[in-house]
Amino acid sequence: MFTGIIEGTGVVKKIKKSVRSARLTVGGGKVLSGLSRGESVSVNGACLTVVEFSKTGFSADVSDETLRRTTLGALREGDPLNLERAAKFSDRIGGHLVSGHVDGVGVIRKIEPVGDSFLFFIGLNKDLLRYCIEKGSIAIDGISLTINRTNRRGIFLMIIPHTMKATTLGRKNEGDPVNVENDLVGKYVERFVQLK
């Protein structure tokens, strides 16, 4: 479980692809301190398990399912990454509960400056959009964000300067894909209603 508060950014050091999986090697700052084998790390919003680590990075195996359903399958060496270690139950939850199980991929359709901040419009398919509500929570590339408003094609997010600098959003362009994890609450409510 994660909070969606990005601890730091890293970079893809190496990708070793096999027939139906890949091993991703990540280099990155303070997230590495005290890291251990078997630990969960959110990489652009996808929960990955550390299989090897050193002072300069860690490696994680990525399944075929994750490669197909997220943006991780399109990563290249040198690409920037958002990183967050799993939350401790004693920590504050500054964002919202994020499982690290990506629901799908959206596309940044527009980035518009608004004062010092930026308004992002992210296009979503109807399967993702159905869980989005105004002022609700969503994780974009693992970042806990508040939905400003929605329309029939996607969501609008106001990104403050700190988030632009502290995450990979400041390096994104219109047309870029992003990992999307909808808020857990909406998915559970829908499931409970379906079972009645």
pTM above 0.75, yes or no: yes
Total residue count of the chain as it appears in this document = 196
- 10 Å Cβ neighbour count for 33? 10
Q: Tell me the C-alpha distance between 154 and 175, whole Å.
A: 14
Q: What are the domain boundaries of the chain?
A: 8-85, 104-195
Q: Tell me the C-alpha distance between 75 and 50, whole Å.
A: 18
Beta strands in 54-96 (DSSP E): 57-63, 80-85
pLDDT digits (tens, 9 = 90+) for 109-155: 999 999 999 999 999 999 999 999 999 999 999 999 999 999 999 99
**CATH of 8-85 given 1.10.2020.10, 2.40.110.10, 3.40.50.10490, 2.40.30.20:** 2.40.30.20
Are the C-beta atoms of 177 and 165 separated by less than 8 Å?
Answer: no
Task: Decide whether 8-85 matches 104-195 in CATH topology.
Answer: yes
Q: What is the dihedral of CA 63, 40, 128, 80, to 10 degrees?
A: -80
Per-residue pLDDT of the chain (196 residues; tens, 9 = 90+): 899 999 999 999 999 999 889 999 999 877 788 888 999 999 999 999 999 998 899 999 999 999 999 999 999 999 999 999 998 877 777 888 899 999 999 999 999 999 999 999 999 999 999 999 999 999 999 999 999 999 999 999 999 999 999 999 999 999 999 999 999 888 888 888 888 7
Q: Tell me the C-alpha distance between 30 and 8, whole Å.
A: 7
The CATH code of the domain at 104-195 is 2.40.30.20
Q: In the prediction, which pLDDT does 93 show?
A: 78
